[in-house]
Structure 1
């Protein structure tokens, strides 16, 4: 059996469609959580030129010598998204487990989609598993890519 390809893509994480306030998130709370859990992180706040909202760009070392780069926008308490760019499914899974288990108030309130799948016509975010370790999450991310014909 061959090893799965390590497609690099952007993974976006979102609150539930029917409860956009489920994350109870803000840029401040996300910044505090990242600084607490990833002390070597690099954080930069800026205003997104396209949407005119404040965003936080981040580089986080999720494992020794494994960094993810992303952006989060939480312009109001009822809206949020977090992207991790140019990441493989295994890298995104480690970040997603931290997001689900450490930062968010409920493990069942995360949806995700990848830019690679969107380029192949996928429009609907998938639910992130509410339980399981990074390997379980990685399998779901890979299933998502495969269902869209990416992997």
Structure 2
């Protein structure tokens, strides 16, 4: 959601600032910032950055700050992951997928309409599967970008 909002802000900034688009096409990725401005961006807060940046640069800084903050929180929250923890998660996800498929097949063979309780069970299971899959993807991404460490696995640097 946040990424989509930031991308929409970027598109709006491009509409409002045609000279910025021309500068970017000309290879001026830094947007003509002075050394003082670049240093303020690296070391300052979002509020300080807003005072010296155009809209596109500001949104790019927000995206960078979001990535850095998320990485720091992932390192803090996950710590070092044991391979057995990942194995247990994979097994649990597989069990939920198997249970869901089994129920769909069972209900599909029934002559009578599916009841409300059975439908709620399917829906709840599908939602749990989606949440587990989303979390699993986040963890795999964290492992690949080096913000999560797995015991016995070399840290990836993409």
Which range, TM-score by smaller chain? under 0.3
Structure ranking higher on relative contact order (CA contacts 8 Å, 6+ apart): 1
Structure ranking higher in strand proportion: 1
Structure with higher helix content: 2
Q: TM-score, normalised by structure 2?
A: 0.19
